[in-house]
Amino acid sequence: MSLPPLAVRPTDVLVVIDPQVDFCPGGALAVAGGDEIMPLVNEIARRFEHVVITQDWHPRDQISFASNHPGAEPFSVVEVAYGPQTLWPDHCVQGTPGAGLHPALDIPHAELILRKGYNPGVDSYSAFFENDKATATGLSGYLRQRGFERCVFVGLALDFCVRYSAQDAIAEGFEAVVIPEACRAIDLDGSAAATFAAFERHGVVLAAP
C-alpha cells in the first residue's frame, strides 16, 4: 500500500490519540506494537506548529470496564443506554501510571491535552463526542475557534479511538487524514478492516508520513 506523503498546511492540526502507557506492551490494554509508533509520532509532530494530544482518562466506575459488569468478560459487548458497548479490562484509570503519556513521547510544543472518557456512564472513543454520539468534548469548538481546517491523526488505537475521532472530524466539518504507519490497531473481530472501509465511506484520507 503506497500512500501519498503528507504535505503539512498552516491550517493543519496534528491530533495524537491516546499515546498512553496502558495501550503499549506491558499495559492494561496493550495494543501490539503500540510503543513502536512513538519515535515516528515525535518526528511527525516536529513538522506541525499545532499539536493536540488526547488522553483516555477513566474513573474506576467507568461503564466500559468489564469489572463493573459482574459475570461479563473483557472484549465482550453489552447493551447500555446508548447502544452496544465493548467491555475492556480496566485501563487508563485517572491518576494511575498506566494513564500517563508514554515516556518516549516527546512533543513539548503540544498546545492542548484533551482528556476523555471521564464520564462514568458513557465511554468516549472519539476526541469529539462520547459514545452516546451526543455529548461533546468541546474539541470542535476549540479547533474551529483557532481556525484549523484539517485534522491529521496518529496514535492508538487505529480501529477505536483514531477511527471514531477521524469520522467525527469529518462530521464536524473538518478534513481528516490518518497516517496508518503511525497507528496500531487492536483488531477485535475484524475491526481493523472495518476501519479502513469506514474511512473510505466517510471521506477520511490516508497518508504516508
Task: Report yes or no: 42 and 5 within 8 Å, Cβ to Cβ.
Answer: no
Tell me if residue 163 falls in helix, strand or coil. Answer: helix
Q: Tell me the angle at which helices 191-202 and 163-171 cross, rounded to the nearest 10 degrees.
A: 10
133 flagged as catalytic: no
Q: Which of 157, 177, 178, 204 binds ligand VGL (CB under 6 A)?
A: 157
CB of 99 to ligand VGL, least distance (A): 11
Is 92 noted as a catalytic residue in this protein? no
* 18 counts as binding ligand VGL under rule CB under 6 A: yes
Q: Which of residues 86-125 bind ligand VGL (CB under 6 A)?
A: 88, 125
3 state SS of 178:
strand
Residues 40-69 that bind Zn ion (CB under 5 A): 56
Task: Kindly tell me which of 48 and 160 has the beta carbon lying closer to ligand VGL.
Answer: 160
Instruction: Look up residue 193 and give its three cell numbers.
Output: 478492516
Q: Is 56 among the residues that bind ligand VGL (CB under 6 A)?
A: yes
Using omega within 30 degrees of 0 as the cis cutoff, is the peptide bond preceding 157 cis?
yes
Closest CA to 50 of 109, 116, 115: 109
Residues contributing to the site for Zn ion (CB under 5 A): 56
Residues contributing to the site for ligand VGL (CB under 6 A): 18, 23, 56, 88, 125, 156-157, 160-161
Q: Which residues are catalytic?
A: 18, 116, 161
